[in-house]
Amino acid sequence: MKTQAFDVVVIGGGPGGYAAAFFAASSGKKVCLIDKRAELGGTCLNEGCIPSKALIHATEVMHLAKTAGEFGLTFSKPKVDLDKLRKWKQSIIKKLNDGIAGLCKKKNVTFIKGRAYIEETHLLRVETEAGQQFISFENAIIATGSQPALPATFDLGNKRIMTSTEALELEDVPKTMLVVGGGYIGMELGSVYASLGSKVTIIEAMSGILAGADQDLIRPVMAVAKENFELLIFNAKVSKMATKGKQIEVNYAVDGKQKKSLFDKVLISVGRTPNSVNIGLDNIEIKTDEKGFIVVNEQLQTNHSHIYAIGDVAGGVLLAHKASKEASIAVESILGHRVTKESMVIPCVVFTDPEIAWCGLTETEAKEKGIAIETSKFSWAASGRALSLGRTDGLTKLILEKDTQKILGMGIVGPGASELIAEGCLAISNGLYAADLAETVHAHPTLSETIMESAELFFGHSAHAYNPKVEQKSTV
């Protein structure tokens, strides 16, 4: 059988995989990109970030229409055409799929649709519709991603029990819905269904939603969630699910008491598992950790130094932009540059209402690690732009290294937080100080001003807020 030879072969066509393939190709490598789907873009584009944001945008319009009454605009109750919404969402995905496929051609990246298995240290077998193909390579990048976790006890083979993948298909709007897991996927998709009319219950094993985010940022999200959702249950553990006619009976324990409820649909969002099985890792003994994530070093190299793993399958935070950044580090390493992922600043963004975003060090982390910090918090109640948007529940927070005031972290809650956080990433990765942000002119009236003002507030000269700790008393 003929074996095709490539410099670099990338397994998985998501935001890590295609970024790696394109960068390697642009750097003069002969590249092969393999994905089990015919469409490129991976989970992110096909059943993750992009479709969820499309749906969230649609429901935001509904929410805005509802609240516009406050400033004298009233709309009649919107009519939801699910087919049209689904088609619109699909058209966005299609456009982006085609865009990536076009780039793939332009960059002379050979795309193969099929399942790849590592056979030997420099050989892949690919199962395609046309049969087996063998591919030899100098370097390989494993970017197979992750999939929604579905614990066996919940896997009844009943379509009413969904993961994020099925929930994004938006088959219907159930009357009642249970979301198991109050992380970002559960909160985002729960909000979509709630806006469309479902009575949504969130059940979470921990004491609060969005583990990892600071409490002061979560507070405004919780306030909205309490209005939008039927019920939020914390410190609760789901023990059993059973089909009861056209409904699902859910048994759960809270405060040591067993409870039972019926829901039309259930969304399981309890995390994601790495796609590290059935890709031939065992054939050459590529090491994985106890959860199945591939073990990599600072250069994203596996225990076979010519084979890299990036993105979700390599663990860490499971976010598309982290995968893309790792793609460039891995390719640079293949190109012979000395690089490290050590100083990556990865922003975390949750598209709840309102949005939450943070990057670098959080207050919680600083406390856990015993890092001496100072914070400066600017409430959006003092922002003209926030008021004019009718959203004053936002907050912008700086986390500064004690004594030096170097910016170590930033946290934002409020509409547009997902866009604003970029400035925090820029500041942290470039080692800026609070003074640098305070000295940089920000346009008025914008939400971005809150970043400058939070820095100014630290020094006591914010034009719109008061910090009694640093006010200088007049000597007159």
Partner 1 sequence: MEIKIPNLGDGIDSAIVISLLVKEGDTVTKDQTLIELETDKAVAPVPSPAAGTITSLTVKEGDTVANGTLIGHLDGGGESSSEPASAAPVQTAPAPVPVKAPSSVPAQTASVAIPKPVYNESVATSVSIQKLAYRIGLDLRYISGTGSSGRITETDLINHIAYLQSLLNQPSAAVESTPKPEVVLPDFEKWGTVDVEKCSPLRKKIAEKMVTAWQTVPHVTQQLDVDITGLMALRKKYNPAYQKKGAKLTLTVFAIKAVQRALEKFPQFNASYDAVKNEIIKKKYYHMGIAVDTENGLIVPVIKDVDKKSLLTLAKELAEIADKAKDRTLSVEELQGSTFTISNLGGLGVGAFTPIINTPEVAILGIGSGEFKPTGDGKTLALKMPTCLSYDHRIIDGADGARFAMEVKNQFETLSESEIKEIS
Binding residues (CB under 8 A) for partner 1: these are 337-340, 343, 401, 404, 406, 429-433, 435-436
- Whole-number Å distance between alpha carbons of 353 and 357: 12
Helices assigned H by DSSP within 203-341: 215-228, 320-334
- Whole-number Å distance between alpha carbons of 316 and 323: 10
Between 239 and 305, whose beta carbon lies closer to partner 1? 305
Between 2 and 338, whose beta carbon lies closer to partner 1? 338
Contact (CB, 8 A) for 301 and 308 = yes
Q: Which residues, other chains included, contact 107 with Cβ-Cβ below 8 Å and sequence gap of 6+?
A: 21, 22, 25, 26, 31
Burial class (CB in 10 A: 0-12, 13-18, 19+), 118: buried
Q: How far is the CB of 439 from partner 1 (least distance, A)?
A: 9
Q: How far is the CB of 436 from partner 1 (least distance, A)?
A: 8
Q: How far is the CB of 437 from partner 1 (least distance, A)?
A: 12
Residue from 57, 306, 442, 444 carrying the catalytic annotation? 444
Contact (CB, 8 A) for 188 and 350 = yes
Q: How far is the CB of 345 from partner 1 (least distance, A)?
A: 8
Between 282 and 298, whose beta carbon lies closer to partner 1? 298
Has 321 been annotated as catalytic?
A: no
Q: How far is the CB of 266 from partner 1 (least distance, A)?
A: 44
Q: Is 382 helix (H, G, I), strand (E, B) or coil?
A: helix
Between 291 and 402, whose beta carbon lies closer to partner 1? 402
Between 108 and 430, whose beta carbon lies closer to partner 1? 430
Burial class (CB in 10 A: 0-12, 13-18, 19+), 442: middle
- Whole-number Å distance between alpha carbons of 138 and 214: 44
Q: Is the dihedral of CA 154, 156, 160, 163 positive or negative?
A: positive
Residue 267's closest CA among 205, 176, 355? 176
Between 341 and 391, whose beta carbon lies closer to partner 1? 341
Contact (CB, 8 A) for 417 and 473 = no
Q: What is the largest CA-CA distance in the chain?
A: 92
Q: How far is the CB of 346 from partner 1 (least distance, A)?
A: 13
Residue 158's closest CA among 100, 244, 83, 69? 244
Residue whose pair of structure tokens reads 């937080």 in the numeric block: 417
Q: How far is the CB of 432 from partner 1 (least distance, A)?
A: 7
Between 54 and 330, whose beta carbon lies closer to partner 1? 330
Q: How far is the CB of 297 from partner 1 (least distance, A)?
A: 14
- Whole-number Å distance between alpha carbons of 6 and 261: 56
Peptide bond into 220 cis (omega under 30): no
CB-facing half-sphere around the CA of 289: CA atoms within 13 A = 13
Residue whose pair of structure tokens reads 């050590």 in the numeric block: 342
- Whole-number Å distance between alpha carbons of 264 and 33: 41
441 DSSP 8-state letter: -
- 163, two tokens: 């993961």
Contact (CB, 8 A) for 44 and 147 = no
Q: How far is the CB of 336 from partner 1 (least distance, A)?
A: 10
Q: Which residues, other chains included, contact 5 with Cβ-Cβ below 8 Å and sequence gap of 6+?
A: 30, 135, 136, 137
Between 296 and 427, whose beta carbon lies closer to partner 1? 427
Between 159 and 338, whose beta carbon lies closer to partner 1? 338
Run of H or E including 309: strand 307-309
- Catalytic residues, which ones? 444
